[in-house]
Amino acid sequence: MNIKIKVLFLTLFLSIPSLFFSQQKEGLSIVEKEIKIKSNQYIREVNFQKAQSFFLEKEWDSTLVYSMKQLSIPTKKSELKNYCHYFRGYSFNEKNIHKEAQFELENISKSFEFYFQVKMLLGTIALKQKKYKKAITYFKDFDGNNTPEFFGTRKSNIEHNLGICYLNLKKYDKAEYYFLKSTKTQELKNDTLMLIGGYVDIANLYYVQYKDDLAIPYFQKAYELSKKTNDFNLKRTATKNMAVVEENRKNYPLSLVYRKEFEKWNDSLNNQNKIWEVAKLEKEFAVKQKQKEVTVLEAENKLKVAERNKLFYSAIGLLVLLTAGGYFYSEKIKSNKIIVSQKVALDEMNATKDKLFSIVSHDLRSSVNALKTSNTKLQESLATKNFTELDTQLNTNAAITNGAYNLLDNLLHWALLQTQQGYFEITYMRLFFIVEQVAYNYKPLLLDKNISFENTVTKKDLIDADQESLKIILRNLLDNAIKFSNENGSIKVYSRNTNDTYCELVIEDNGLGMSEGTRLELLKDTALLSKKENENIIGTGLGMQLVKQMLQKNNGKFNIESELGKGTKMIVSLPKTAR
């Protein structure tokens, strides 16, 4: 008795509604645009802001955390609850936790503006759980609609899913109807990937009914189409099917040829999966490393421990990359290039941190030593009631403390910037008032050196920038201007509008200035700290690095005009607000 060998079903082509799977031609998807609009409407809901941001970035774990925090806050805004439940249901589905995903989606009310997306997700989950009758009740709602797409989800995909449901329920006539209807649409759109799945499913439909004459041409179509794609899984499935078909036809030599081709694609797929697994491990490692670094940086007494841990984890990262290279010979050259580039980046980062710790420790020690010496003189002046000297020493102590505080403040912001932990929001603002706020805090230092200050920035100048990072930029530049100015000097801050796109803010002093070599060194786009022009003035050069990096995040530009002994102009260019 001739028993037919079953042909493996191709992985189900589920039509999952997703704003990431189908983008509109003119930019963001409709759902993604609506989520961004809601973000502006609920600007005060911090947890919702974070949840929607992580959702759009496909960070599912973080999305689940912040959407849960938002739901734990009592509110009468049903729309806000619906979006949070949608975020959670979608995230659980992406993590293949279907029971939790179903629970969250069923908590969404029918008034939700994208309830169709909810029904599509519930239908897809039911299909994955092999609850075919339940899946049909969701998909059938879209069957009679003549709209070719439901916000990015093609109707042909829904028809294909209905065909899969009826095939598994052994309702072959209905399965044939939906498969053929779906495939006809995909042929018109020339959708290669979906066509391969459609052809294989139709072939299986006929094959399980022993209609070999109808099934084999579709297996052959799927095999020929698979040659045009780079998807190893599709190639493997189509080739395996042909091997089984030829084996059933007792054409063993040809079946063996297909078997060998199947093994080749199977090996390629295994290699690809290993690469993806390594990439996933690297990503998880990178996240844990950043969290570790942030925790350590918050405690000054653990800086040395953080450095050792960083080197340890970096060594593990290199070991993982080197071990991964042994799994696939064909990717050896590419992997080596990646490892070399990462090692160069790591060496530069380590060199920066080593130099930073050396300079910071030296300058902090200098500040503490100067403060210790000044306090000794302060005690002597107090004992002799020399109030003039006492006032001088108090001012000296204030200057030393202010310098050390600015150094630590810059170190903190630099660390947050390197680990990408700082909150950053571009908004429009008037440049004049930001300059006024920053300059107000420096009045005592200006008076101490008898430096005249003038702010002539045009009050009409509107720029787009993150307010807090802009203040840090101005504080560092103004601090440098005061530091390198002579007694009785002058500092001017003014704006220049010579460009339609950028507004130039100039901080000009008539102080020490710098050589051309130093100017060019400061403008270099490098991770290493620049050498100081004047070793007698406390400073690490970290402030200038902070200025350049924060300007890059603000889409701004930086330039310096200076001449040794004739002062310096620090020029910050920021994007103008579109009006």
CA–CA distance, 60 with 419 (Å, rounded to integer):
20
Over residues 401-422, mean pLDDT = 63
> Around 484, how many Cα atoms within 13 Å sit in the side-chain half-sphere?
27
Per-residue pLDDT for 87 more than 60?
yes
Pairing of strands 490-496, 452-455: parallel
Region 479-495: mean pLDDT is: 91
Q: Among 5-9, 47-51, 54-58, 292-296, whose mean pLDDT is lowest? A: 5-9
Residue 38 has pLDDT above 80, yes or no: no
Sequence-ordered list of residues with C-beta below 8 angstroms from that of 70, at least 6 positions apart, any chain:
45, 47, 48, 51, 80, 84
Nearest alpha carbon to residue 342 among 290, 282, 421: 282
Q: Residue 153: its pLDDT value, please?
A: 64
Highest mean pLDDT out of 141-150, 230-239, 378-387, 524-533: 230-239
pLDDT at 454: 93
* CA angle in degrees (0–180, nearest 5) for 491-493-496: 140
DSSP string, 161-230: HHHHHHHHTT-HHHHHHHHHHHHHHHHHHT-HHHHHHHHHHHHHHHHHTT-HHHHHHHHHHHHHHHTT--
Query: Which residue type occupies 125?
Result: I
d(CA 579, CA 577): 6
Q: Higher pLDDT residue, 318 or 419? A: 318
537 pLDDT above the threshold of 90? no
pLDDT score, position 15: 43
Q: Dump strand ranges (E) for 9-148.
A: none
The top-level CATH class assigned to 421-575 is alpha beta
What are the C-alpha distances in Å from 128 to residues 51, 165, 566?
A: 26, 10, 74
Q: Are 501 and 575 in contact (CB under 8 A)?
A: yes
Residues 485, 510 contacting (CB under 8 angstroms): yes
Average pLDDT (30-58) is 82
Q: State the Cα–Cα distance between residues 73 and 47, nearest whole angstrom.
A: 10
Which SS3 state, helix, strand or coil, does residue 52 take? helix
Average pLDDT over all residues of the chain: 77
Q: Would the pLDDT of 76 be above 80?
A: yes
Here the tokens at position 55 are: 């959702």
Task: Determine which of 170-174, 240-244, 413-417 has the lowest per-residue pLDDT on average.
Answer: 413-417
pLDDT band, very low/low/confident/very high, at 389 (cuts 50, 70, 90): confident
Mean pLDDT of 272-287: 58
Is the predicted pLDDT of residue 267 greater than 60, yes or no?
yes
Please choose, from the candidates 485, 465, 487, the residue with its C-alpha nearest in 3D space to the C-alpha of residue 477: 485
For residue 162, what pLDDT band results from cuts at 50, 70 and 90?
confident
Report the pLDDT value the prediction gives residue 452, as an integer from 0 to 100. Answer: 93
DSSP 252: H
Neighbour count for residue 72 (Cβ, 10 Å): 9
When pLDDT is averaged across residues 175-192 and rounded to a whole number, the result is 80
Kindly state the average pLDDT of the residues 382-398: 72
pLDDT tens, position by position, 340-374: 777 776 776 666 565 555 555 545 555 566 566 76
Lowest mean pLDDT among 41-50, 203-212, 240-249, 375-384: 375-384
- What's residue 17's pLDDT? 41
* Side-chain half-sphere exposure of 522, counting CA atoms within 13 A: 25
DSSP β-ladder status, 490-496 and 462-465: unpaired
pLDDT at 82: 87
508, 569 contact by CB (below 8 A): yes
Task: Name the more confident of 460 and 38.
Answer: 460
Q: Coil, strand, or helix at residue 503?
A: strand
pTM of the predicted structure, to 2 decimals: 0.42
Residue 208 confidence (pLDDT): 83
Summarised one tens digit per residue, pLDDT across range 470-482 is 888 998 899 889 9
Contacts with 471 (C-beta within 8 Å, 6 or more apart), sequence order: 434, 437, 438
| pLDDT of res. 364 | 59
Confidence of residue 525 (pLDDT cuts 50, 70, 90): confident
Kindly state the tokens that stand for 174: 């209905």
Query: Which H, E and C letters describe 442-458, residue by residue?
Result: CHHHHHHCCCEEEECCC
Does 450 score more than 60 pLDDT?
yes
Question: How buried is 443 (Cβ within 10 angstroms: 0-12 exposed, 13-18 middle, 19+ buried)?
Answer: exposed
For residue 467, give the nearest of 389, 574, 370 by alpha carbon: 574
Residue 268 has pLDDT above 60, yes or no: yes
